[in-house]
């Protein structure tokens, strides 16, 4: 355990960082007044010794804990309702969300909904819908990420799939932010390499889109910049040696930094990844990873000066082109597919997905406000795995600033 990588932070929330700090979970519960937590996770994680260890640790300390493991990737409204039912049945007073982004998103949505008398979709992040929430009814959440990707542990929203409409919807309220976060790299060691790669690229997409977003937020921009550097340095190391605790720590931190930074906004990667994930049930991080160079290239005219500055900070030569080459090489090194076709996505729903992308909240903070036709061209380029020469992008009409 490295003492240099141990810290207590309160921005954006209270965060405990370091190897072995999962053992402070009981202390965290008592600090928040939680005596009967609902442990929210997924069925795969229940097979790991750490889940039994958490249950034993809490019960030995006199906490009345029970387990809810009915969360799937790309969680739906039905998963949230089932969690609310489990919470109420067990007379719980708080949530421990242990898992990847899907689990933590579900856990936060469950904590939100236990005190509401409106349906979940009434709180979609549109206009001032968040003001409909009975804030006093939101339960406290302790988040323990088992992946270094989404950064949901420091987010004020959950991405939940509306299966009837086949849409991912962002459910938002400022008090959905977990009250306590534990970033323990030891719980991420069991991650298989393909998940480590996809979640790591998801963290990169958050930092990168937040960095490129046009809104004024120097704090978020600085956090995003350093998050990208940490990922550049430590994601390859984690892939080479999954037991590298220092690099696992830095990836967890970079993941939290990405989600802290994207308070500034996201962009076209997420605007496309959300409908693709809803329709094809594909892994969100992998979608962002595949889309990344195509979206960067489409945004080139609006972000080239920023990417040149970023490349200098990362010690990458040749400005925008050098940075784009690094992204493509990194994907290849991590085993990420070059095109969407390689993960079973074809052109059948291209126009529908492009329309949904323009309606996604992430589209509003993309450096260029693409229309449906432009999103469709980007998507088809990513499906086919087309070349990424700048001249071709200009010819396609994708590099025109507003």
Domain contains 77: yes
Between CA 169 and CA 274 the distance in angstroms is: 8
Q: Are 327 and 212 in contact (CB under 8 A)?
A: no
Q: Are 352 and 346 in contact (CB under 8 A)?
A: no
Between CA 338 and CA 124 the distance in angstroms is: 33
Domain stop point among 167, 188, 209: 188
Domain contains 4: no
Number of folded domains that form the chain: 2
Domain contains 324: yes
Domain stop point among 161, 188, 215: 188
Query: Looking at residue 389, what is its pLDDT?
Result: 53
Binned at pLDDT 50, 70 and 90, residue 395 comes out as very low
Between CA 285 and CA 303 the distance in angstroms is: 22
For residue 238, the enclosing domain spans: 193-384
- Same domain, residue pair 101 and 152: yes
Q: Coil, strand or helix: which one is 240?
A: helix
- Same domain, residue pair 222 and 144: no
Least confident of 92-106, 321-335, 381-395: 381-395
Q: Are 178 and 141 in contact (CB under 8 A)?
A: yes
Domain stop point among 132, 158, 188: 188
Nearest to 32, CA basis, from 13, 51, 60? 13
- Same domain, residue pair 174 and 68: yes
Q: What tokens were used for 133?
A: 């929430």
pTM, two decimal places: 0.91
Query: Looking at residue 396, what is its pLDDT?
Result: 42
* Sheet strands side by side (includes 141-145): 7-9, 14-17, 180-183, 141-145, 94-99, 37-40, 66-68
- Same domain, residue pair 202 and 127: no
Q: What is the pLDDT of residues 39-78, one digit of tens each?
A: 999 999 999 999 999 999 999 999 999 999 999 888 999 9
Q: What is the pLDDT of residues 118-167, one digit of tens each?
A: 999 999 998 999 999 999 999 999 999 999 999 999 999 999 999 999 88
| φ and ψ at residue 40, rounded to 5 degrees | -100, 125
CA dihedral 188, 26, 11, 245 (to 10 degrees): -30
Domain contains 397: no
- Same domain, residue pair 156 and 275: no
Nearest to 319, CA basis, from 305, 306, 308? 308
Domain contains 97: yes
Q: Which CATH number fits the domain that encloses residue 255?
A: 1.20.1090.10
- Same domain, residue pair 223 and 91: no
Query: Looking at residue 3, what is its pLDDT?
Result: 56
Beta bridge partners of 222: none
């Amino acid at each position: 355990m490295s003492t240099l990588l141990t810290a207590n932070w309160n921005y954006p929330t209270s965060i405990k960082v370091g190897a072995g700090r999962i053992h402070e979970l009981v202390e965290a519960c008592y600090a928040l007044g939680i005596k009967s937590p609902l442990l929210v996770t997924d069925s795969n994680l229940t097979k790991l010794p750490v889940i039994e260890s958490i249950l034993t640790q809490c019960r030995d300390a006199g906490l009345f804990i029970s387990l809810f493991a009915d969360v799937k990737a790309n969680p739906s409204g039905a998963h949230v309702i089932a969690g609310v039912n489990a919470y109420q049945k067990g007379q719980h007073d708080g949530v421990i969300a242990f898992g990847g982004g899907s689990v933590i998103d579900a856990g936060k949505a469950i904590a939100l909904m236990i005190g509401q008398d409106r349906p979940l979709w009434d709180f979609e992040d549109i206009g001032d819908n968040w003001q409909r929430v009975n804030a006093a009814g939101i339960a406290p959440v302790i988040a323990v990420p088992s992946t270094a990707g989404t950064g949901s542990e420091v987010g004020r929203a959950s991405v939940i799939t509306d299966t009837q409409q086949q849409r991912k919807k962002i459910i938002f309220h400022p008090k959905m932010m977990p009250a306590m976060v534990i970033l323990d790299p030891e719980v991420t060691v069991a991650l298989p390499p393909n998940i480590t790669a996809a979640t790591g690229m998801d963290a990169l997409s958050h930092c990168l889109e937040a960095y490129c977003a046009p809104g004024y937020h120097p704090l978020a921009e600085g956090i995003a910049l350093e998050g990208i550097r940490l990922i550049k340095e430590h994601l390859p190391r984690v892939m080479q040696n999954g037991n590298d605790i220092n690099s696992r720590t830095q990836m967890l931190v970079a993941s939290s930094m990405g989600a802290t930074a994207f308070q500034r906004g996201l962009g076209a990667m997420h605007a496309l990844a959300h409908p693709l994930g809803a329709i094809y049930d594909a892994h969100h991080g992998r979608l962002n990873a595949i889309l990344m160079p195509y979206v960067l290239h489409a945004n080139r005219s609006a972000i080239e000066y920023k990417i040149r500055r970023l490349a200098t900070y990362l010690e990458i030569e040749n400005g925008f082109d050098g940075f784009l080459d690094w992204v493509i090489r990194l994907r290849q090194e991590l085993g990420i597919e070059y095109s969407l076709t390689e993960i079973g996505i074809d052109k059948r729903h291209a126009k529908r997905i492009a329309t949904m992308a323009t309606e996604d909240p992430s589209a509003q903070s993309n450096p260029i406000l693409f229309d449906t036709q432009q999103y469709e061209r980007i998507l088809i380029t990513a499906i086919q795995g087309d070349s990424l020469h700048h001249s071709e992008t200009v010819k396609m009409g994708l590099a025109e600033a507003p």
